[in-house]
A and B are shown apart, each in its own frame.
Chain A
Amino acid sequence: MKMLMKGTEAIAEAAIRAGCRLYFGYPITPQSELTEYMAKRMPEVNGVFLQSESEVATVNMLYGAACTGKRVMTSTSSPGFSLMQEGISYMAGAELPAVFINVMRGGPGLGDIQPSQSDYFQATKGGGHGDYRMIVLAPHTLQEAANIMGEAFDLAFKYRMLVTILVDGMIGQMMEPVELPEWKNIEEFKEPDWALTGAKDRKPRKVTSFDLDPYELEKMNLRYQATYKKVTENEVRYEEFKIADADIIVVAYGTMARIVKTVVDSARKEGIKVGLFRPITLWPFPYERLSEIAGNVKHILTVEMSYGQMLEDVKLGVNGKTDVEFYGRSAGVVPTPMEVLEAIKKIAR
């Protein structure tokens, strides 16, 4: 049965169904309903909901909880995600699986509470210190956001990596029909061989991002890099929408991609052959596929709710094979379909 849900609610319920029973968080608009949903729902499923005193405390609670090998998550919005960066770096170094939800709002600084995509760099290039990566998933509908939660946890555990679901306030706040995913049986989850569960009758285990010996620390780093390589080889995801005969390909993700789908249809009615290339994994970014299709089109247009962040990855992918144009608005202003259509027409002329 479908439910009428807000994005924040759909993500929260899908996370619980994916086996998450440990949630730590601190309210911040436009994602507070996610925290509130967890506060109501976790006691009903024998889970733990804990509201911390700040996002700094949240990420450290998550760090501790993740060491037990259970499915743990938090959610926040841009300024809160900034506060979590130190802990994220620590957790990445300790090779811990956890899921972060960042419902982005206008920035920088205190910014505003309207939707934005301005945390792309922070999520994909590493907002914290050190040579680390996290997998970044960018759903563009509420249904996709609900479906992707199970996958987010599976990827986190498969690679012992952090996964961020990067959405904007629009996906967080809008309401849509959602078919909730099936329940996973948490009894069937295997305890990872690194989990800290009490060392009685076995050798103690160690989860840390620390080694005083640079050669030992380098070994750890090389292990992380080997993992990241595997992820870039195996876990790239994207969607192609009407690109087969396209002269112009628009690259967009999340809410922006959603808007572009409408624009693709209206541009085609006016005889302009447009398609959409939508990265679903922002890291690893689909460079290779973008490079392949760039050779077949006249123009590429990147559209963002930020000022040219994903644009840098698009240019790396296209690698000079064709023109790369840009249209973006930020600070909580969502481009209208008309504006994007105008940007396309300007290029088509």
Chain B
Amino acid sequence: MDSRVFIYVGMFGSGKTELSINTAITLRKSSSKVALIDIDIISPYFRSRDEKLFLENMNIKVITAPERYMHADLPIIPPEVGGYISNKEFLTVIDAGGNEDGAIVLGSLNHFLENVDKKILFVINVFRPFSSTEEEIVRNIDKISRAARSKIDYLVNNSNIGPETTTDDIKTGEEIVLKVSKMTGIPAVFTSIDENIDYKGKLPIFRMKRFMKNSW
């Protein structure tokens, strides 16, 4: 999957933030200039910006609301966002907010995004509400694609039930995602799994470390 800008979209709570952080860390291994743009205006807690310090220590540029508005639920899109999308020196990951309300921010950045080498990835967790059947997922893809004013390039299977995920669950998700892929013609690009799980399926595997969790 070759691209300069990677954009994660999907339903609320599908795993976009975990994928964005892990993607940025993976890209950082092969490139010195990596940026993570947090334009999640939907979630009040558990956002990419919560890992800002950790990521900046790894020399990943995190673009989010200014420090003093970090804990606000305000729809703040800082002006640097456009700059980092356009800057050809950077590999950039964009963490969009959930549902069509979150994707609408992407639509508003369309004038920056339209001429950029980018891939939009739609994240699917079949164990989340309103995402358990092929029909629901296809409807969601359509809604989010319209709000983002862009077509979806790839599907990602991130099906999990947190710490209780079994390989059977991941497989169930993979089967549904492949059916959705067939129905929509959008290729499924990988299955993301927790680093502590062993799984081999039909899709390539992306191993992830989990960041959005409590210390207890």
B125 neighbours in A (Cβ, 8 Å): 4
A170 neighbours in B (Cβ, 8 Å): 45, 214
B72 neighbours in A (Cβ, 8 Å): 113
Could you tell me the dominant secondary structure of chain A's interface residues? mixed
Name which of B31-39, B56-64, B126-134, B178-186 contacts chain A. Answer: B126-134
B46 neighbours in A (Cβ, 8 Å): 173-175
B178: min CB distance to chain A, Å: 20
Interface string of B196-216 (1 = CB under 8 A from A): 000000000000000000111
B49: min CB distance to chain A, Å: 14
User: Which of A3, A177, A258, A262 interacts with B129 by CB under 8 Å?
Assistant: A3
User: Which of A4, A40, A262 interacts with B130 by CB under 8 Å?
Assistant: A40
Identify which of residues 46-105 in chain B touch chain A, using a CB-to-CB cut-off of 8 Å: 46, 71-73
Q: How large is the interface on A (under 10, 10 to 19, 20 to 34, 35 or more residues)?
A: 20 to 34
Asked whether B162 lies within 8 Å of A13 as measured between CB atoms, the reply is no
Q: Which residue of chain B is the closest to A33 with respect to CB atoms?
A: B12
Asked whether A13 lies within 8 Å of B216 as measured between CB atoms, the reply is no
Q: Which residue of chain A is the closest to B160 with respect to CB atoms?
A: A4
Give the A-B pair count, Cβ closer than 8 A.
63
A190: min CB distance to chain B, Å: 31
Q: How large is the interface on B (under 10, 10 to 19, 20 to 34, 35 or more residues)?
A: 20 to 34
Q: Which residue of chain A is the closest to B213 with respect to CB atoms?
A: A174
A112: min CB distance to chain B, Å: 6
Question: Known contacts being A2-B164, A3-B161, A113-B73, is A173 close to B216, with CB within 8 Å?
Answer: no
Asked whether B71 lies within 8 Å of A176 as measured between CB atoms, the reply is no
Identify which of residues 100-147 in chain B touch chain A, using a CB-to-CB cut-off of 8 Å: 125, 127-130, 132
A329: min CB distance to chain B, Å: 14
Identify which of residues 148-198 in chain A touch chain B, using a CB-to-CB cut-off of 8 Å: 169-170, 173-177
Asked whether A30 lies within 8 Å of B45 as measured between CB atoms, the reply is yes
User: Which of B129, B162, B215 interacts with A9 by CB under 8 Å?
Assistant: B129
Q: Which residue of chain A is the closest to B132 with respect to CB atoms?
A: A3
Q: Which residue of chain A is the closest to B46 with respect to CB atoms?
A: A173
Asked whether A174 lies within 8 Å of B214 as measured between CB atoms, the reply is yes
A3 neighbours in B (Cβ, 8 Å): 127-129, 132, 161
A4 neighbours in B (Cβ, 8 Å): 13, 125, 127-128, 160-162
Q: Which residue of chain B is the closest to A336 with respect to CB atoms?
A: B215
Asked whether A30 lies within 8 Å of B44 as measured between CB atoms, the reply is yes
CA–CA, A2 and B43, complex, Å: 23
CA–CA, A169 and B73, complex, Å: 13
B2: min CB distance to chain A, Å: 31
Identify which of residues 254-269 in chain A touch chain B, using a CB-to-CB cut-off of 8 Å: 258-259, 261-263
Interface centre among A3, A113, A259 (most CB of B within 10 A): A3
CA–CA, A6 and B128, complex, Å: 9
Asked whether B44 lies within 8 Å of A173 as measured between CB atoms, the reply is yes
User: In the complex, given contacts A3-B128, A30-B44, what are 18 additional A-B residue pairs having Cβ atoms less than 8 angstroms apart?
Assistant: A2-B127, A3-B132, A4-B161, A4-B162, A33-B12, A40-B130, A113-B71, A169-B45, A174-B45, A174-B46, A174-B214, A175-B46, A177-B162, A177-B163, A177-B164, A261-B216, A332-B71, A336-B215
